[in-house]
Amino acid sequence: DAGITQSPRHKVTETGTPVTLRCHQTENHRYMYWYRQDPGHGLRLIHYSYGVKDTDKGEVSDGYSVSRSKTEDFLLTLESATSSQTSVYFCAISESPGANQPQHFGDGTRLSIL
């Protein structure tokens, strides 16, 4: 299995509080992604990173920010959590473009916002 660790694995918090999810990889892959998975919607991209300090928005980026200060870590922050952000969040990694290699996923973080 690809070396991807997501933390925390489960979190319950209240509306309006800030939340940070962490994704750590040991594969030295250039690309990292944050997806959310919701019933009826499938997986949707929130943000992705194509290198240290290089990030871009995905389909559902509103209310989320990301940071990548090291190759191995990609952080997802909910500045002020809302109930609509209750979801399962997955981190994924992939190698450089042209390698045409699969994306590999972490085990997910189940986030509940009350």
Partner 1 sequence: KQEVTQIPAALSVPEGENLVLNCSFTDSAIYNLQWFRQDPGKGLTSLLLIQSSQREQTSGRLNASLDKSSGRSTLYIAASQPGDSATYLCARGTQAGTALIFGKGTTLSVSS
The residue ranges that bind partner 1 (CB under 8 A) are 30-31, 33, 35, 40-45, 48, 50, 58-59, 90, 92, 94, 96-98, 100-108
**Cβ pair 21, 75 in contact under 8 A:** yes
**C-beta of 95: minimal distance to partner 1 in Å?**
9
Residue 17 or 43 having the CB closest to partner 1: 43
Shortest Cβ 8–partner 1 spacing (Å): 15
> How far is residue 101's CA from residue 94's CA, in Å, rounded to a whole number?
7
CB of 20 to partner 1, least distance (A): 20
Cα separation, 108 vs 8, in Å, equals: 9
Least distance (Å) from partner 1 to the CB of residue 83? 21
C-beta closer to partner 1: residue 13 or 104: 104
Strands 19-25 and 73-78: antiparallel
The token pair at 47 is 């943000």
Q: What is the rounded CA–CA span in Å between residue 64 and residue 58?
A: 10
Nearer to partner 1, 101 or 112 (CB): 101
